[in-house]
Amino acid sequence: MVRDAALKFTRESSGTLAVHSVSSDGIRINDEVWQKSIGLTPEAVLDDWQEKPVAELVVEDFEVLLALDPELVIVGTGTRIEFPPRELVFAFARKGIGLEVMDTAAAARTFNVLAGEGRRVASVLFLPD
């Protein structure tokens, strides 16, 4: 039996930033390597992210990203998943914005897929140990 397959092809936006690699040496976005934790949207790298432990994050730390009206914020917590305080999760829920936490490599892959689909996604990527 032969079936007709309906495939949908989409073109990546040429202006979309993409994470090409993640290691303890840095996070490579397009042609630049960042050697510190960063905020990221499909259009911009926010390199003024304040370094602080994941366990100490509060919603105010995300003000710049939240001002860009994302539907989802992905937090890459380094080599291992480290969950933020419950109050941060609740604060995002009250705003109607998704918050996903994963290791930085997984966060980068997820960011790339969603940004490539044209979704309103933002990410904070902590440098792996």
pLDDT by 10s per residue, the chain, length 129: 444 444 443 444 456 899 999 998 999 999 999 999 999 999 999 988 888 999 999 999 999 999 999 999 999 999 999 999 999 999 999 999 999 999 999 999 999 999 999 999 999 999 998
What CATH number did the domain enclosing 44 receive? 3.40.1230.10
Q: Is 28 among the domain residues?
A: yes
Q: How many domains does the chain have?
A: 1
Q: Give the span between the Cα atoms of 117 and 10, in whole angstroms.
A: 8
Q: Is 12 among the domain residues?
A: no
Q: Give the span between the Cα atoms of 38 and 24, in whole angstroms.
A: 14
pTM (global) more than 0.85? yes
Length of the chain: 129
What is the pLDDT at residue 3? 46
Q: Is 95 among the domain residues?
A: yes
Q: Is 6 among the domain residues?
A: no
Parent domain of 73? 19-125
Question: CA angle at residue 106 from 104 to 109, to 5 degrees?
Answer: 110
What is the pLDDT at residue 14? 53
What is the pLDDT at residue 50? 85
Q: Is 2 among the domain residues?
A: no
Q: Is 112 among the domain residues?
A: yes
Q: Is 27 among the domain residues?
A: yes
Q: Is 37 among the domain residues?
A: yes
